[in-house]
Amino acid sequence: MELPFEVGALYNRQKQIHGVFGGQQQGGISTPKEHPLVIAFTGEAGVSHGYHDFWDDDEVFHYFGEGQVGDMKYVAGNRAIGEHIKDGKTLVVFQMMGKGRPYRYLGRFMCQSSYVQPGTPDREGQLRSAIVFRLRSLEASLGLAASESDQAEIDAAIDDVGATSTRRETEVRTKQRLFRERLIGVEKGCRLTGIEDLRFLRASHIKPWADSTHSERVDGENGLLLAPHADLLFDQGWISFSSSGRLLVSNVLPTDVRSRIGLKLDAPRQRGPFSNRQIGYLEFHRDVVFGARSPKIG
């Protein structure tokens, strides 16, 4: 079915989602009666209860079903997700951006299977069995571009000749896609511009791809969402961040560039604290990438 949504863009739940298709306006799964559609919402709710949806190494999205107290049951919205192919319905996923905020469209998904996860806390903190769905994205991307250096790595793999390079290109693209999928669960938007629409952002590794291990390359906490011009500055070491989130600007960034680039580099900003793993990666960025442009930060 045709949908008026673009992957990576933001939409108001009441007006632009339910106002068009109907369905329950509360809860994590909505099943409009008049349209062959199942709408799943991922994000804040599960985290507040002590669990979270996640992407595994095979790019399968593990989505926890609905049911706030007691064992989850394979009924209502949970059944709708598990049986959406059999029922001839399209499954789409939106990401919650926070209370009162718009929702980010992640695209169409297909439910491959489900399993029961014991020991999962409910709303009251009691352990119960949760139903978890294995979802496969049907989208080529999340509308999120790779950073400058990551794109160069992809281009290099494409420029090589032979079967080995073809396998390498596939491997690089897969890792890049998994990194981006995981990153949007860590960072909501650009810490310099405030932009949250993925169509206008890049997925930037904090510790560069070339310096990272396999696990670090696909770790969403080794990343930031940045507008293209902010990504260029960060990627090349003209800017960095302190562990507390303070923006650091190289003292050799040309004054003319600083005044014309369109970023308020001196403005105070707060977009939530960095995680412990992000802080570790940022230490590397300050010492190695930013440090190549500026004196070492103590």
DSSP code per residue over 211-269:
G--HHHHT-TTSEEEE-HHHHHHHHTTSEEE-TTS-EEE-TTS-HHHHHHSS--TTS--
Cβ-contact 91, 81 below 8 angstroms: yes
Q: Please give the model's pTM, rounded to 2 decimal places.
A: 0.91
Cβ-contact 212, 222 below 8 angstroms: yes
Task: Summarize pLDDT for 144-171 with one digit per residue, the tens.
Answer: 988 888 777 777 766 665 556 677 778 8
pLDDT of res. 153: 73
pLDDT of res. 254: 92
Look at 61-65, 70-74, 266-270 and tell me which has the smallest mean pLDDT: 266-270
Look at 4-13, 86-95, 141-150, 157-166 and tell me which has the smallest mean pLDDT: 157-166
pLDDT of res. 170: 80
Higher pLDDT pick, 44 / 220: 220
pLDDT of res. 295: 58
- The span from the CA of 249 to the CA of 225, in Å, is 18
Task: Summarize pLDDT for 239-271 with one digit per residue, the tens.
Answer: 999 999 999 999 999 999 988 888 888 876 667
Given a cut of 90, whether residue 40 has pLDDT beyond it is yes
